[in-house]
Amino acid sequence: MMKDRPAAYKGDQPYIFISYAHKDSDIVLPIIARLQKDGYRVWYDEGIAPGSNWDIYISEHLDQSSVVLGFLSRSYVKSQNCRDELALTRMKSKPVSLVYIDDVQLSPGMKMRYGRIQALFLQSMTEEEFFEKLYQADAMTASRE
């Protein structure tokens, strides 16, 4: 696991909202660090102030984001919080990019809602191929410095 967690974006410019399961931090945090290194503004739950109401804080930051980047895994689909974030993304009609980080089977409901979204499969590409394809997504452009 990364010793130093990347800082979450603070400001009023467009940013990427990261939706992930904490059990996948070893995979997701280095991706966040690379996104930041490459000039993208990224917010994730590291930015939640102590003592804050988690649900309100998450929903406000998801609402203010320009795109949601969801990291789907077996842990993700088991997490009610993660599923709630994707449901809110859909209700708010937010652009979403999905990254499958392991071989996960979506529930029939999730498959119906998200199966049509073009997704990236992290395991099937090199790191450079992954970032090249991710950066091609139109919705990512607004969150770049």
Please choose, from the candidates 31, 124, 95, 107, the residue with its C-alpha nearest in 3D space to the C-alpha of residue 44: 31
Q: How many CB atoms lie within 10 A of CB 122?
A: 19
Please choose, from the candidates 16, 18, 117, 23, the residue with its C-alpha nearest in 3D space to the C-alpha of residue 79: 23
Q: Are 44 and 17 in contact (CB under 8 A)?
A: yes
Q: Is 39 exposed, middle or buried (0-12, 13-18, 19+ CB in 10 A)?
A: exposed
In this predicted structure, the answer to whether residue 128 has a pLDDT above a threshold of 80 is yes
**Cα 69 to the center of its chain, rounded Å:** 3
| Tens of pLDDT, residues 2-49 | 568 899 999 999 999 999 999 999 999 999 999 999 999 999 998 787
Contacts of 5 (CB under 8 A, 6+ apart): 29, 46
Residue 72: helix, strand or coil by DSSP?
strand
Residue 14: per-residue pLDDT: 95
Q: Are 72 and 85 in contact (CB under 8 A)?
A: no
Q: Is 126 exposed, middle or buried (0-12, 13-18, 19+ CB in 10 A)?
A: exposed
| Tens of pLDDT, residues 43-71 | 999 878 788 888 888 999 999 999 999 99
| Tens of pLDDT, residues 71-107 | 999 999 999 999 999 999 989 999 999 999 998 887 7
